[in-house]
Amino acid sequence: MLFWVIAAILTLGASLAVLLPLAGKSGEATSSADHDLEVYRDQLQELDRDAVRGLIQPTEAEEARAEIARRILRLDRPDQAGQPEARRGSTLARLVATAAVLAVPLVSWGLYSQIGSPDLPSQPLAERLAKNPADSSVDELVARAEAHLASNPSDGRGWDVLAPIYLRLQRFSDAVTAYRNAIRLDGDTAARRAGLGEAIANQAGGIVSADAQQAFEAALKLDPTNAKASFYLALGLAQEGQKAEAEAAWRKMLAALPQDSQWRGAVEQALAQSGAPAGNAASGPGAGDVEAASSMSPKDREAMINSMVAGLDEKLRQNPRDPEGWMRLVRSYVVLGKADQARDALNRGIAVFGADSEEARKFTAFAASLGVTATE
């Protein structure tokens, strides 16, 4: 009801703002004519007084009376050449303008009653932001948390609410910041540490870096049954070339998971992928390969490592649009302690996809987690 009252008042105000000036034009014209007539009457009275006192000759007085009379007649009888038409045109214009002004609210209200939602209850922003998070949309949750944190940056609970939403929206950098703030302000929990590790890993293109691994290990110390942390730590082992250890960790995890756990499908898929035949373009020396080479003689070890790196480099030359292969090559050089070669591989990978591409951003984030930066 309040909506209709406000709408009616605003419509009335807008209509009057246009109609009053239109109506006033006629009044102004009448008032001007009355004023002129009064002036001419005063002039006639003044002329009579001057004639009585002999200040003006009778002939001149008659001529002056005749001139004033003509002016009075022009007030009563407008110019026949065009004044009546002008007045009629002005009147018609006022009528058309008045009809148009009155039609606008009538038409708009009629249309709104047909296609609008006049019965929809009001939804003030404060009430929308105060809704239970379980009943809010993602956009409302983000607006709620960000608006609150803009004025209360020390609210750890707010950061804790916002962090997983950022993860769902794939705003991984923001998720990392939110999780770190929540941990700093409200302390460690297994869920926060695991969420932080997941955000770091996704920011690096799915690679479980040292920072992500540290976060997952901290989560398991707080809760040894945390499925997310266990899964990603096993994934990190697989990415480092420790395939047997990764499969063992996933099988152990699968045996402990409840039948209705959402992580069972992810673990089963990871085990199936780990059993796929090797030889894709992402293959290359990992940490396990380097450790195995450490037992060889220096000459044989160098030959083995160079051969593996050269093989991966050749595959990337033949199939350069392989983001995982480029990240594997960068990591291989880092494990070998060859920072310059790692940086060169990073630059070549970025050049393949373009500096502004999503792949280039993943390369940069992944390399930064390993301590490698691209050449400007």
| Mean pLDDT computed over 250-276 | 81
Q: Is the confidence at residue 300, as pLDDT, over 80?
A: no
Q: Which amino acid is at 268?
A: E
DSSP 3-state assignment of 38? helix
User: Per the domain annotation, does 353 fall within a domain?
Assistant: yes
Tokens of 155: 């609210």
Per-residue CA distances from 86 to 18, 81, 91, 328 (Å): 21, 10, 8, 88
Measured between alpha carbons, how far is 183 from 157 in angstroms, rounded to an integer? Answer: 10
Measured between alpha carbons, how far is 331 from 289 in angstroms, rounded to an integer? Answer: 12
Q: Which residues of 93-123 are buried (b: 16+ CB within 10 A; e: fewer)?
A: ebeeeeeebeeebeeebeeeeeeeeeeeeee
User: Per the domain annotation, does 326 fall within a domain?
Assistant: yes
Specify the long-range contacts of residues 112-118, CB closer than 8 Å, at least 24 apart.
118/3, 118/4
User: Per the domain annotation, does 174 fall within a domain?
Assistant: no
Q: What is the mean pLDDT of the chain?
A: 76
Final residue of a structural domain among 73, 88, 112:
112
First to last CA, the chain: 63
User: Per the domain annotation, does 316 fall within a domain?
Assistant: yes
Tokens of 373: 């930066």
| Least confident range of 5-19, 271-285, 335-349 | 271-285
Final residue of a structural domain among 112, 132, 151:
112
Looking up tokens 């894709």 gives: 280
Q: What is the pLDDT of residue 184?
A: 94
Provide the domain limits for residue 334.
287-369
User: Per the domain annotation, does 262 fall within a domain?
Assistant: no
Tokens of 9: 């008042």
Which of 368, 319, 323, 316 lies closest to 350, judged by CA?
A: 323
Final residue of a structural domain among 73, 94, 112:
112
User: Per the domain annotation, does 140 fall within a domain?
Assistant: no
Measured between alpha carbons, how far is 109 from 149 in angstroms, rounded to an integer? Answer: 40
Highest mean pLDDT among 69-83, 122-136, 228-242, 322-336: 228-242
Q: What pLDDT, in 10s, does the model give residues 168-200?
A: 888 899 999 999 999 999 999 999 999 999 999
Q: What pLDDT, in 10s, does the model give residues 24-41?
A: 555 555 556 677 777 777
Highest mean pLDDT among 30-34, 72-76, 113-117, 325-329: 325-329
Per-residue pLDDT band for 216 (boundaries 50, 70, 90) equals very high
Q: What pLDDT, in 10s, does the model give residues 234-255?
A: 999 888 888 889 888 998 988 8
Per-residue CA distances from 63 to 20, 43, 60, 77, 319 (Å): 43, 13, 5, 21, 111
More confident residue, 347 or 304: 347
Measured between alpha carbons, how far is 32 from 346 in angstroms, rounded to an integer? Answer: 86
Highest mean pLDDT among 53-57, 91-95, 118-122, 360-364: 360-364
Domain count, the chain: 2
The CATH code of the domain that includes 327 is: 1.25.40
Measured between alpha carbons, how far is 239 from 206 in angstroms, rounded to an integer? Answer: 10
Tokens of 345: 């591989």
User: Per the domain annotation, does 103 fall within a domain?
Assistant: yes
More confident residue, 298 or 16: 16
Q: What is the pLDDT of residue 217?
A: 94
Q: Which residues make Cβ contacts (< 8 Å) with residue 198, sequence separation at least 6?
A: 167, 212, 228, 232
